[in-house]
């Protein structure tokens, strides 16, 4: 399957799952309380399982040597992107800042990188997923909630996502293999992540005025920032990395070229923000990424 085929397939799955949630809400199988409970299940169960599962594979020792270098690059990329989002969307535009900074590297990034770049890219993309989730659950959570109490140390150390992230990293670095029953359970819970999120997003759409959200100019500015500006900033940063690490460079670019992370809508619902707008941004950016991701790959091949 080509890279465009993979993106189209993953996008189609996301939209079909969203429609399931939309229909379930409209026919009253689910209500607002039910959609909130689904969101909580994602935050406290499915997403932490995804983090552990991302690092559950056995990675070559040769790649582990580049883990520190990869983390430094990811740190630089995030600092530049966060600053870019702040200057592009000043004055209480936290949702748009979130949209520019955080990509859907888990669901779209990992399968896309594996197909386009091969198995060697999986480790780098897994690190990307881990770093992204750590920053989402700290800076991203604060960005949407605007409550510093949510990122207090005492809350972070009991945050399921943060605990899962460090557990996953520990398993990857020590090559410890979980017992089959536990590993399979975590894998199955991890696989629940996307269906639950998209069903919840479908419920969010059914609750509000979709046409109003789609008429917002800000929605398209946020989509442009995520799919074009953020990847171009990353491409410029990676120009200073030697092409001996081309797989690493392409993996990080692919991750940054993916659409807006779905947790934007979940957090918006949880903390009383405009979750309908957030859901529309996730949906529109996912649709437009069918065109922009191949374009970013083409540009990288020209300039690197």
Give the residue from 82, 80, 113, 79 showing the smallest Cα distance to 96. 82
Which has more pLDDT, 225 or 269? 225
The pLDDT tens digits of the residues spanning 57-112 come to 656 666 667 888 999 999 999 999 999 999 999 988 999 999 999 998 877 777 77
In angstroms, the CA 19 to CA 187 distance is 25
The pLDDT tens digits of the residues spanning 212-240 come to 778 889 999 999 999 999 999 999 999 99
Which has more pLDDT, 9 or 24? 24
Give the residue from 232, 210, 219 showing the smallest Cα distance to 292. 232
In angstroms, the CA 286 to CA 280 distance is 10
- Are the C-beta atoms of residues 188 and 72 closer than 8 Å to each other? no
- Secondary structure letter of residue 103 according to DSSP: B
In angstroms, the CA 255 to CA 188 distance is 24
Q: What is the dihedral of CA 118, 289, 276, 201, to 10 degrees?
A: -30
In angstroms, the CA 21 to CA 137 distance is 25
Q: Any idea which architecture 3-303 has in CATH?
A: Up-down Bundle (1.20)
pLDDT band at 153 (very low <50, low <70, confident <90, very high): confident
Mean pLDDT of all residues in the chain? Answer: 87
- Secondary structure letter of residue 108 according to DSSP: I
The pLDDT tens digits of the residues spanning 243-266 come to 999 999 999 999 999 999 988 988
Say how many CA atoms lie within 13 Å of 85 toward its Cβ.
Answer: 27
- Are the C-beta atoms of residues 97 and 86 closer than 8 Å to each other? yes
Please, which residues have CB within 8 angstroms of residue 227's CB and are 6 or more apart in sequence? 257, 259, 285, 288, 289, 292, 293
As given in the structure block, the two tokens for residue 32 are: 């607002």
Which has more pLDDT, 147 or 231? 231
Q: Report CA Rg, the chain.
A: 18
In angstroms, the CA 265 to CA 136 distance is 13
Phi-psi domain of 92 (left: phi exceeds 0; alpha: psi -120 through 50; beta: other): left
**Domain map (residue ranges) of the chain:** 3-303
pLDDT band at 291 (very low <50, low <70, confident <90, very high): confident
Interval 276-304 mean pLDDT = 88
Report the share of the chain in percent with pLDDT over 90.
Answer: 40
């Amino acid at each position: 399957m080509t890279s465009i085929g993979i993106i189209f397939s993953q996008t189609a799955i996301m939209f079909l799952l969203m429609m399931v949630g939309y229909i379930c809400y409209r026919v009253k199988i689910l209500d607002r309380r039910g959609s909130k409970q689904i969101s909580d299940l994602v935050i406290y169960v499915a997403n932490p399982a995804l983090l552990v599962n991302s690092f559950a594979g056995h990675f070559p020792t040769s790649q582990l040597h580049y883990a520190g270098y990869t983390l430094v690059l990811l740190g630089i990329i995030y600092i530049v992107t966060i600053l870019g989002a702040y200057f592009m969307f000043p004055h209480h535009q936290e949702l748009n800042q979130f949209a520019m900074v955080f990509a859907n590297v888990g669901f779209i990034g990992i399968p896309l990188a594996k197909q386009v770049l091969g198995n060697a890219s999986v480790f780098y993309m897994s690190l990307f997923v881990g770093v992204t989730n750590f920053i989402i659950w700290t800076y991203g959570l604060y960005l949407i909630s605007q409550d510093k109490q949510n990122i207090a140390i005492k809350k972070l150390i009991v945050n399921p996502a943060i605990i899962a992230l460090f557990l996953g990293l520990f398993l990857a670095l020590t090559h410890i293999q979980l017992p089959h029953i536990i590993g399979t359970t975590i894998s199955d819970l991890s696989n629940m992540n996307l269906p639950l999120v998209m069903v919840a997003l479908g419920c969010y759409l059914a609750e509000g005025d979709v046409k109003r959200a789609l008429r917002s100019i800000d929605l398209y500015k946020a989509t442009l920032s995520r799919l074009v500006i953020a990847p171009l900033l990353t491409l410029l940063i990676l120009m200073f990395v030697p092409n001996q690490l081309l797989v690493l460079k392409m993996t990080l670019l692919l991750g940054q070229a993916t659409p807006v992370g779905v947790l934007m809508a979940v957090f918006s619902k949880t903390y009383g923000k405009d979750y309908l707008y957030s859901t529309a941004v996730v949906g529109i950016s996912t649709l437009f990424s069918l065109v922009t991701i191949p374009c970013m790959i083409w540009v990288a091949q020209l300039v690197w």
